[in-house]
């Protein structure tokens, strides 16, 4: 069964969603992220993807207090990303209650540093963020394109011990137009060892079922939940 991972994206301490990573296309859904997290927990959800969008832009963790509150007042297993640039950032995230951290910018810009994190913290604690547009990696809150192609990029880090990868097709994120299933099939075909977490574009339960049918292990859901395209009751069932 596919693992369901709701997302909470944070700007100014509030639960928001962007469209295609555009900070100018921000919509606030709840001013209290803890309230949202508790609703997920009450519905039987066990995992949470928490993203510090302020941190992604500032290149340092900003909203660690939000992480701390959610970790303290729920039993959710949280992976935290956004603004993680140093080991100090990682230590802040783990101290605040994260079980895993996800990083994309450092992995793209400083391979040796990212590999050292895998060695120090373990491949099960460091999730590779592989966010792409036209199948090329983009970093720093998706505002910086790179020349790195997503499939060999993931394959390279799998050789260094990365176990989990969050892959977002930026062109689909927040658009509610369906996930990049063809891309995910290619990744799983070439790199079967990684636990692939699909992200972006899910618009309805059929999209989730299609991802499951394609063999994708896990999916992150955001806007589809907040816009009531998918209900928590449906996810439980």
Give the integer Cα–Cα distance in Å for 192 and 185: 10
**Collapsing DSSP states into helix, strand and coil, what is residue 222?**
coil
Give the β-pairing of 136-139 and 195-199: unpaired
Q: Among 52, 131, 173, 207, which one carries the catalytic annotation?
A: 131
Give the integer Cα–Cα distance in Å for 160 and 114: 10
131 is catalytic: yes
Give the integer Cα–Cα distance in Å for 16 and 236: 23
Q: Among 9, 52, 173, 207, which one carries the catalytic annotation?
A: 9
Tabulate helix, strand, coil % of the chain (nearest 5): 40, 30, 30
9 is catalytic: yes
Give the integer Cα–Cα distance in Å for 230 and 49: 17
Distances (CA, A) of 177 to 9, 173, 201: 20, 9, 5
**Collapsing DSSP states into helix, strand and coil, what is residue 4?**
strand
> Which residues are identified as catalytic?
9, 131
């Amino acid at each position: 069964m596919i693992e369901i991972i709701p997302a909470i994206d944070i700007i100014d301490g509030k639960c928001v969603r962007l469209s295609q990573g555009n900070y100018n296309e921000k919509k606030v859904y709840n001013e209290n992220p803890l309230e949202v997290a508790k609703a997920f927990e009450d519905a039987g959800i066990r995992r949470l993807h928490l993203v510090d969008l302020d941190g992604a832009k500032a290149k340092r963790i900003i909203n660690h207090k939000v992480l701390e509150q959610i970790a303290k007042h729920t039993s959710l297993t949280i992976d935290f990303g956004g603004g993680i640039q140093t080991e100090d950032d990682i230590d802040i995230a783990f101290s605040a209650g994260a079980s895993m951290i996800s990083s994309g910018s450092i992995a793209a810009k400083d391979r040796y540093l990212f590999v050292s994190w895998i060695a120090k913290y373990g491949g099960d604690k460091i999730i590779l963020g592989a966010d792409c547009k036209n199948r090329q990696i983009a970093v720093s809150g998706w505002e910086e394109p790179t020349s790195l192609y997503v499939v060999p990029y993931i394959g390279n880090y799998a050789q260094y011990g990365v176990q989990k990868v969050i892959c977002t097709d930026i062109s689909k994120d927040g658009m509610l137009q369906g996930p990049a299933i063809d891309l995910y099939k290619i990744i799983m075909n070439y790199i079967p060892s990684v636990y692939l977490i699909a992200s972006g574009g899910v618009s309805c339960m059929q999209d989730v079922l299609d991802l499951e049918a394609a063999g994708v292990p896990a999916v992150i859901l955001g806007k589809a939940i907040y816009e009531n395209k998918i209900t928590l009751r449906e996810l439980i069932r």
